[in-house]
Chains A and B, each alone.
Chain A
Amino acid sequence: MEPLVKVSSPACPLPLENVDTDQLIPARFMKESRAKGYGGFLLHDHRFDAEGKPRDFILNHEQAAGSEILVARRNFGGGSSREAAVYAMVDFGFRCVVAPSFGDIFASNAVNNGLLPAVVSEADAERLLDALAGEPRPVTVDLKSQAITFQGGEVSFDVNPTWKEKLLNGWDDIDLTLARTPDIERFREDYLDQYPWLA
């Protein structure tokens, strides 16, 4: 996985609460293979009407195409565990999403795909949204210093320390865990001795 240290790009404001993973990618697109990219499905029903015509929505703005940062309100990515919601964000081009809170499963899915879930206070999310004033404007997210800078301000963000290490180094869990196989197998033997009905 590609390491993530700093992201500088126009940031898209999405001033909504409870943007659940069903909105991020509606279930009807989840039978598609990843190979063709999920970016077109991101927030599909916000972006397009029933006839497939684009609506006036932030992700349809011209500058949104080059945006790597999304700023939203509380409880972003709650709901279904579908990792496809993160695939859609990553395939669209996002590398960081800033919000006051995230669905737990969404946040770990994000990190596993190199997408940073940056947690800010409600007040800082509002400051950032005010600064963006409804359009994509330049923002820098620095993972090392956990700081978000924008025209006229700076706010700090929280991130789980293990996730920070994983993102900074582009580490992949499976490789790291496989390296511990002897420890795991030793644990398993003791475990099955203790709980023999599970053997």
Chain B
Amino acid sequence: MAGKTLFDKIWQAHEICRNDEGQSLLWVDRHLAHEGSFHAFNKLAERDLAVRHPEQTIGIADHYVPTIGRDLIAVQSKVRNVIEQLVENTRRHGVKLIGLDDPRQGIVHVVGPEQGITQPGLLMVCGDSHTSTHGALGALAFGIGASEVAHVLATQTLWQTKPKRMRIRIDGALAPGVTAKDIALAWISILGADGARGYAIEYAGEVIDALSVEARLTLCNLSIEGGGRCGMIAPDDKTIDYVKGRPFSPEGEALEKAEMYWRTLYSDADAEFDREVILDGRDVAPTVTWGVSPEEALPIDGAVPDPEVAGSEAKARQIRDSLDYMGLKPGQKLTDIQVDRVFIGSCTNARIEDLRSAAEVLRGKRCKVGGIVSPGSTQVKAQAEQEGLDKVFTDAGLEWRESGCSMCVGMNGDLIPSGERCASTTNRNFKGRQGPGARTHLMSPAMVAAAAISGHLTDIRDLQG
């Protein structure tokens, strides 16, 4: 019999039963609830249902929170109302809340790993597609909708169809200036925004082994942008060192038992995957998006595609539509694209290593365009300030803000004016994502910093000499 994949091992441990059509009922270890959970709590209220295991849900405010300050007085009443509903819903049901005024507050996918809520082997869900982030620590984690959030609250379980397994293997090594963000944009541009649809992704290979835990979080975060149900990386020494000693992590004897289990979580040598994709790290260049889907990404030394030479009429149509929205011309060099502002933040790229890499580029320099830096969590903010990174950003002319989802999704009102172009560390360049008519180019934090200094998309390798 073939061995098991990492995914299979965790799935099996959480499978309560299977129905006649083959769907599995899964036990949920941890549920993270942000302000968008109000639809789900309303559903419970309509049916007069209780939260079955309130100790397994943690409320965290991130999507709608202001980044200018922590005070809700100046916040638009409808936005304030959404935040207040999270406070009220968690209080009523006895759910722990990491609210706006909590020093642990931040973006759910940054706070989870940071607080040790995320651990290897757990099944974690959240009403947010970027829940795939947590797989970087060897958890099975995926985003769910509001009806499913209500189901988890009421039953602590979830019905799921088992996805197929895909391994993305990246061997070799990354060249200087190339990051986890570039790996993600590279594979998504090759396979497409739905290339991993229906699959649980496991990342493996020499490049992945060499990545820091924070870089792995960035890579797994973007799994959903390639259509993956989740992204995972088998826990290793780095993972276990990272998880140990955090507030929610096990201690003492419990930790010893946990660690023994965590070390069994890997894909067996003879495990079979439904699909395997192999890339060479040396082929990955600093990558940026030029269009309106993360699949529309290219190496920074490339040029905007020409619909006239696209392989098919469908492809040509899609390119034309994207160029039109983005206000770009076929054949234009990517490094000639001028930007109006920058954003450094989001669950993809606002951890301390991301801020350090952007600050390294900005240190002692002055930006040609303005922008916002919003740390991934209040704790990341404190750490950055301790290291003096805030001063580097403000000296360069950028705004240093509080933590939240901010200009990634714009629910709190941090938006880009229509027609303006933003170099962004976020995960989505969708039409209107950063505001109606806003144009977004995705890239790594160092590349955003480089664009801020030069005023146009820039190859980080040119700055690094």
Contacts and interface: CB of A to CB of B under 8 A. Distances in A.
A160 B199 CA distance: 15
A73 B318 CA distance: 11
Given A30-B411, A113-B147, A198 B29 contact: yes
Given A109-B146, A113-B147, A104 B36 contact: no
A78 B432 contact: no
Given A27-B410, A81-B128, A74 B194 contact: yes
B415 to A, nearest CB: 8
Contacts of A103: 194, 197, 227
A102 B193 CA distance: 11
A163 B340 CA distance: 46
Interface in A18-40: 18, 20, 22-23, 26-28, 30-32, 34
Interface string A79-120: 111111010000000000000011111101100110000000
A22 B433 contact: yes
Contacts of B90: none
Contact of A31 (B255, B411, B431, B437): B411
Given A83-B146, A105-B143, A195 B261 contact: yes
Interface stretch (B155-163, B234-242, B353-361, B363-371): B155-163
Interface residues of A, number: 56
B127 A81 contact: yes
Contact of A83 (B19, B79, B145): B145
A57 interface: no
Consensus secondary structure, chain A interface: helix
Given A31-B81, A74-B194, A177 B151 contact: yes
B254 A180 contact: no
B145 A105 contact: yes
Contacts of A145: none
A126 to B, nearest CB: 9
A107 B144 CA distance: 11
Interface in B191-249: 192-194, 197-198, 224, 227, 229
B329 interface: no
Given A80-B129, A191-B27, 10 more contacts: A22-B428, A23-B431, A23-B432, A31-B82, A78-B227, A84-B39, A104-B227, A177-B154, A187-B27, A196-B254
A91 to B, nearest CB: 13
A163 to B, nearest CB: 9
A88 B109 CA distance: 27
Contacts of B17: 180, 183
Contacts of A45: 431-432, 436
A28 B410 contact: yes
B154 A174 contact: yes
A149 interface: no
A65 interface: no
Contacts of B159: 162, 173, 177
Contacts of B227: 75, 78, 103-104
Contacts of A78: 193-194, 227
B194 A31 contact: no
Nearest to B43: A174
Contacts of A84: 39, 146
Contacts of A109: 145-148
Given A31-B64, A83-B145, A17 B318 contact: yes
Contact of B25 (A34, A82, A180, A198): A180
A168 B388 CA distance: 60
A184 B433 contact: no
A22 B81 contact: no
A75 B154 CA distance: 31
Contacts of A32: 78
A32 B81 CA distance: 10
What is the interface residue range for chain B against chain A? 35 or more
Interface of B: 13, 16-17, 19, 21-23, 25, 27, 29, 36, 39, 42, 47, 49, 64, 78-79, 81-82, 121-122, 127-129, 143-148, 150-151, 154-157, 159, 161, 163, 192-194, 197-198, 224, 227, 229, 250, 254-255, 257-258, 261, 292-293, 295, 314, 318, 321, 409-411, 418, 428, 430-433, 436-437
Interface of A: 16-18, 20, 22-23, 26-28, 30-32, 34, 45, 50, 73-75, 78-84, 86, 101-106, 108-109, 112-113, 160-162, 165, 173-174, 177-178, 180-181, 183-184, 187-188, 191, 194-198
Contacts of B409: 27, 80
A23 to B, nearest CB: 6
A81 B150 contact: no
A177 B157 contact: yes
Contacts of A196: 254, 257
A197 B82 contact: no
Contacts of B121: 195
Contacts of B146: 83-84, 109
Contacts of A22: 428, 430-433
A181 B25 CA distance: 12
Given A18-B193, A81-B128, A101-B197, A86 B145 contact: yes
Given A81-B143, A177-B155, A191-B27, A184 B193 contact: no
Nearest to B252: A197
A55 to B, nearest CB: 13
A55 B159 CA distance: 41
B150 A174 contact: yes
A109 B292 CA distance: 24
A198 B49 CA distance: 25
Contact of B36 (A16, A23, A30): A30
Contacts of A50: 418, 436-437
A184 B129 contact: no
Contacts of B42: 34
Given A31-B81, A173-B151, A191-B27, A161 B197 contact: no
